[in-house]
Amino acid sequence: MFIGEASKLSGATQRAIRLYESMGLLKISREGKYRIYTYKNIELIKIIKDAQSLGLNLSEIVAILGQQEEFDWGLIHDFLNQKYSMIENEIQKLENQKKNIKKTQRSIITCLKELDSNP
């Protein structure tokens, strides 16, 4: 199938599919000047899109895939554990930042009230 049909079946834009190919994520066969996509390519495009929705960027996906034709699911599992931990740490940092902002806002309000009450 050609790229238009691959795009429809995978849900990825033609531009995204070309990007995946240029980054080495997809190995596409050619007939003359045309790229020919297989159902295996479609499934890989869907996996790439799913990985992106989990927060992986394309360079991380390239690193995970390496020179392999198939993903190493054990490696992906470990990588997702690391990603999850990083996200949890970031959430904790943001929660602390949020608390500090609220604390500072309360201090400012208290100072403003004291200034207003002391003419």
pLDDT one-digit tens code per residue, 22-41: 998 888 988 888 899 999 99
Arch. (CATH architecture) of 1-67: Orthogonal Bundle (1.10)
- Residue 20: pLDDT band (50, 70, 90) is very high
| Domain chopping of the chain, boundaries | 1-67, 72-119
Q: Kindly tell me if the per-residue pLDDT of 117 is higher than 90.
A: no
Q: How far apart are CA 80 and CA 23, in angstroms?
A: 21
Q: In the predicted model, is pLDDT for residue 86 greater than 70?
A: yes
Unique residue bearing structure tokens 């834009």: 13
Angstrom distance (rounded) from CA 79 to CA 56 = 9
d(C-alpha 2, C-alpha 47), whole Å = 19
Which residue from 81, 77, 74, 62 is spatially nearest to 20, judged by alpha carbons? 62
Three-state SS letters, 46-93: HHHHHHHHCCCCHHHHHHHHCCCCCCCHHHHHHHHHHHHHHHHHHHHH
pTM for the model: 0.71
